[in-house]
Structures are given as C-alpha cells and as structure tokens.
Chains A and B, each alone.
Chain A
Amino acid sequence: MGRTLAEKVWDEHVVRSAPPAPDLLYVDMHLIHEVTSPQAFDGLRLAGRRVRRPDLTLATEDHNVPTVDAHLPIADPVSRTQVETLRKNAAEFGIRLHPLGDVEQGIVHVVGPQLGLTQPGMTIVCGDSHTSTHGAFGALAFGIGTSEVEHVLATQTLPQARPKTMAVTVNGTLSDGVTAKDLILALISRTGTGGGQGYVVEYRGTAIEALSMEGRMTVCNMSIEWGAKAGMIAPDQTTFDYIEGRPEAPKGADWDAAVEYWKTLVTDEDAGFDKEVVIDASEVTPFVTWGTNPGQGVPLSDAVPSPDDFADESDRVAAQKALEYMDLTPGTPMRQVEVDTVFVGSCTNGRIEDLRLAAEVLRGRTVADNTRLLVVPGSVRVRLEAEAEGLHEVFTAAGAEWRGAGCSMCLGMNPDQLEPGERSASTSNRNFEGRQGKGGRTHLVSVPVAAATAVAGHLASPADLPPVA
C-alpha cells in the first residue's frame, strides 16, 4: 500500500511513536509573531527552560503594526508593549527577528516563503491558524496555540494525533478572470466551516497544477476556514522554480540533494485517502460571501439567499442571524451590494501577483466616490517589488491608499479598522462578525473583484466595468 504526500511528510518527522500516545513530531521551522508568543516566553522563564533550537525559529512583527508612519513609535501603547515584548524576548532567547523597519519585515506567512525558508517536506508551525499557507510547497504546516508555541520553543517537537487524509481534486481549467480565491471560496461554501475537520487535505488535479505558487498559497491559506488541520499541494517544477535562488534556499550540491528528495513527495498511485472530493474547475465563477462565516458564499452573479433556502435548522438560524448582522435582504443581487471600503492585502492575497492583478484592473480607472481602497502589501519586499514595477503609481493615481506591510485590516488589531456599520469587500480570509472592526460587515472576494468593486462602488467583477477610454 502506497502513502499519501501527507503520510510521507508525517512519517519523516516522527521522533517517537508509542500508541496510544500521539506521535511526537519534529518541527523543522517555528515562525513567531508578537500576539501569540509573549505568554509562551513567560512560561519558559518560569520553568527555567531555554529555546531548544533558535536556529529553527524566526520572528516577525505583523499583526499589530501600523501601515502608515512606520518610522514613528507605535501610537497605541498596548500594541507597542506587545511588539516591544517580542523584541525583548527575541534578544533574550537569541531568536532572529525582522522588526518594523527591517527590509524582511512582513506577514509571517509571506516572509517565510519569500526568504526560501518554506520548503517541500518540512513541518512548519506558528501560533497562527493561517500557517496552512505553507502547505502550498508540500510542507505539513498548521497553526497552534500559545501552549503549543511554548512546547515547540522548549522541545522543537509537538505531540500530535495522526490526522485523517482527504483529497480535493480540481479537474479542468479555471475560466479567465476566475482565481484561486474564487475556487477556495466555492469549495468552502460546499463543505461548510467544519467539513475538513480532522483532515489533512491534499489539493490536486489539473487546475491546481496550473496555479502559480501565489495561487497555491491562497488555496492552502484558507484550508483552516473549512476546518482542515492543514492543506498541502505536491511540489513540482513550479515549486522548485519559486524556491531556487532565494536567500535561504539550498545551494549547489545541497540544492540537488534537496530537489531529488522533494521529487519523491507525491502521493503514490496506490495510496488511499480517507475521503475524496472532486470539483470541476470550469464551473467555478467569481465568488463572494454574503454572511458571517467563510462558508456563507454565492457566485457574484447570484442574489442574497433566504434563510428558507437552507434545509438544516441550524443553517437556517445561522443564515437569519448573518443576514441581520450584514443588513442584507434576501433576493438582492450581490452586484447591487454597495461597499464603503475595499481591502487588498493579507496572508491570503497580499503577494506580488495579487498586487499585479489589482493594478491591472485599476490602471486608467479611479476609485468610486464614497469608497476607499486600501492596498497593503504582505511584506516590505512585496512593497519594494511593486514599487519597482510602478504598481504603486497605478494605485495612487486611482485614488487608493498605498500602505506599509502587515496584517492590517484583515483583523483590525492596528488602526486599520472598519467603523460600526461600514461594509467592506476584502481579499482577506474571514468575514466573522466584527473581524475588521466592531460592527463592520465583510464580504470576502478575490483580488480582481476587490479592485473592480472599488471602481464600481458596489460588488463587481472587472468584466462589469466600462472599458478604459
């Protein structure tokens, strides 16, 4: 019996297996940020423990950081204390940190891949649920809580129950104007927020193979939104080409040895999955959410659903509550939903390819009156790359705000927040109540839909816009 990609990576990292105890897994890379780590470092100090492998640990500042006036001290004293605590802990325990102002600073899930630290076959953890992003490289990557952060700091391992495996096969080709984001939103609307629970999911099939690394990261990033433990994609030439030459990528003979190993990281033909889902890519169209969890979505061409459309009682109640919160009337075409704010950024869609897609739509156009557009690069490197390509000029000419790097309005821990009652179209990953600011209402969308929505002032795709004169 062959093994799946997930099983191969798992087996390669088992330090100790003694059922019924969970396997003890070795962690190849531990990523850290300011929000979920301070209590873990306190725990180490209290117990008199050290960080076992500072050389397999990397910290960056992302959740709290302002995206304007990065040279000034952080205005919010509580945010500032948290960021300063990370700096103090990194210095005390000898951990490499990319702080605000550093050229490698950015969202932890953008920084890892761009440095070349994220590689196939690795185990990667971080105190952040979107760690699943790194699975795009064929790594086994998942989010953990602060107690587990402390465990990894102290031991470089984690006790983990062996998860079940699922294959999501996406056959065919995505249509023009349909992105990886639409694909994952459509999938989650089908599975619900709990459909992946207990599984490591492998995304495969022709439509997945055709995606760029950025697109693959978008898909894997949102694995957690349907409850999956992790999402993975088998590494291929696209993966190797992305990694080669990056600062922390293997070099010379090491590169050859690494690639030789990486090529074995595919699911064997005779391997079995515990569950399989098949999707036809050609049926996917631009997709948007109407509710307050990522599973509550419809094609952009559809209308706001009615609670009566749901057979299940708990889905019906959830829809009712979501529509009240979102202030939406059943039957309203999604294209008629007007927004105040558009956010392009986050670990889901804050990479260079995303900014290029946004610029393509915005070139020669302007943001609608009464709508603001925030473009927030996922890292300083992404920002610099965009500026080298002149994308920032497209954004500012269109009337958008061109910001510094960070998590920003994805979760509104910094000043980038919605006001109560404001409505956004957002390329981020969560439309939970109040996620982008207390009382704010979020529609999750792809980058092209976000950019077109900013121009139209209501939910729209680029095809809805009049041609540029």
Chain B
Amino acid sequence: MDAFTTHTGTALPLRRSNVDTDQIIPAVYLKRVTRTGFEDGLFGAWRVDPDFVLNRPEHQEASILLAGPDFGTGSSREHAVWALMDHGFRVVLSSRFADIFRGNSGKAGLLAAQVDQSVIDRLWTIVEADPTTSITVDLEAREVRAEDLFAPFVIDDYTRHRLLNGLDDIAVTLDDESSIVDFEARRPAWKPVTQ
C-alpha cells in the first residue's frame, strides 16, 4: 500500500445520508475477480441521471468525496472502496461511517476521515459556490483545510499509523508469528475443524 501523508484536491458534494454500499457499487458489478476496474460501477444506478453530481463537468477531477451521515452502510463489499479509488477518490469525509466500510478503506488506502456534520455543511456550501476550491486533508495533523476553514478530523491511531507508513498489515502480523503459534498450542482440542 502507498503511504498517505497529505492530499490536496477538489471535492464532490454528495448531499445524501445513508448511502449504502449497494448504491456505491451495485451487486451486478461484483462478479469480477480482479481488484481494479470497478470505476464503471461507481454509483451505477444514480449515474444514469445526467444531472447526478458525479456527472457534472465541474467535478470531473474531484478526489475528495463530501458525504452525508451513515456513509457505506450495508454490505461488506470492499469493491465499494475500490470503485471510489478507481474513479480517483483518495479521501471520503463524513460525520458517520459504517464500521466495515471504514475498516475496508483503511486497508485499501482510502482515507475515511470523520468530521462533524457542521464541517460537511460548510464544505458543501463552499464547493457548490466554487467547485475549483482547493481542499487539503492533512493526515499528519488530522486536519481539513479549505479557504478559511480549519477543522480537525477523527481517525483511529492505528489506521493513521499504517496509512502514514504505507504498512502491509499481514506482514506486520506475521512479524510476530510466534505469538500465533503459542496461542494455537493453547486452543481446546474440541474446537471444530473442517477437515
């Protein structure tokens, strides 16, 4: 995974709450066995509307998604994160993320940064007034900056540490394989096995 320290770009205002992962990428796009190439499925059903915000010419370069509360609810599909990243998003800001979506983002390298809804409201207003507004998301400082707005965001320490250093989670775990071996030696013999 590439390291993430700070990102500056333009934003896409998505004025909806409860955007579930079926909306981010409908199930019909999940049949592929690759990890990339999901860009065409992003907001697949909403995108057929030419007025949908993702289709607007002024937001074509957006790399920061400004989402409503309860973003990423429902299905565990990591394809939702991949589709956002394949489209060019590096950051999602929301006042509340579903747990699995947030976890998937941290693993795949998409920054899911939690801010107060008042911050989202202000950013929506700023970006709708001027879509070219440059927004900076600083993971080191845990801060979002746009025009005169400086707002802190919340992210757990471990995910921040991993993103800042671009760490491979599995390698980190396997570095201490002996503790897994020790644990396995203590497991009760009657626990079920599949073979």
Chain A interface residues toward B at CB < 8 A: 15-16, 20-22, 24, 26, 28-29, 35-36, 38-39, 42-43, 47, 49, 52, 54-58, 63-64, 76, 78-79, 81-82, 85, 96, 116-117, 119, 122, 127-129, 143-148, 150-151, 154-157, 159, 161, 192-194, 197-198, 224-225, 227, 229, 248-250, 254-255, 257-258, 261, 292-293, 314-315, 317-318, 321, 411-413, 430, 432-435, 438-439
Contacts and interface: CB of A to CB of B under 8 A. Distances in A.
Contacts of A85: 33
Nearest to A412: B27
B69 interface: yes
A86 to B, nearest CB: 9
A20 B34 CA distance: 34
B90 interface: no
Contact of B73 (A76, A227, A434): A227
Given A20-B157, A129-B74, A154 B100 contact: no
B191 A413 contact: no
Given A63-B30, A432-B22, 18 more contacts: A24-B180, A26-B184, A49-B170, A56-B194, A96-B194, A122-B191, A127-B76, A143-B76, A144-B76, A148-B107, A150-B170, A151-B170, A161-B158, A225-B74, A227-B70, A257-B190, A293-B18, A413-B31
27 contacts: A15-B183, A20-B157, A29-B192, A35-B77, A39-B34, A42-B35, A47-B170, A49-B170, A96-B195, A117-B192, A128-B76, A143-B100, A145-B76, A146-B104, A155-B170, A157-B180, A193-B73, A194-B70, A227-B99, A292-B18, A411-B75, A432-B20, A432-B22, A433-B22, A434-B45, A438-B26, A439-B45
Contacts of A255: 190
Contact of B99 (A56, A147, A229): A229
B176 interface: yes
Contacts of A411: 22, 27, 75
Given A82-B31, A145-B76, A433-B23, A314 B69 contact: yes
A154 B158 CA distance: 20
Contacts of A254: 189-190
A28 B100 contact: no
Q: Which 5 A-B pairs have the closest CB atoms?
A: A147-B107, A145-B104, A145-B78, A254-B190, A38-B33
B28 interface: yes
B43 to A, nearest CB: 11
Interface residues of B, number: 58
Contact of A155 (B70, B156, B173): B173
B103 A58 contact: no
Nearest to A119: B192
B141 interface: no
B108 interface: yes
A55 B193 contact: yes
Interface in B136-165: 156-158
Contacts of A79: 31
Contact of A430 (B22, B35, B194): B22
B188 interface: yes
A304 B95 CA distance: 29
A456 to B, nearest CB: 29
B68 interface: yes
Given A150-B170, A314-B17, A81 B78 contact: no
A148 B77 CA distance: 11
B98 interface: yes
Nearest to B96: A194
B174 interface: yes
B96 A36 contact: no
A58 B194 contact: yes
B187 to A, nearest CB: 8
Given A150-B170, A432-B74, A117 B194 contact: yes
Interface in B73-105: 73-79, 81, 96, 98-100, 103-104
A258 B194 contact: no
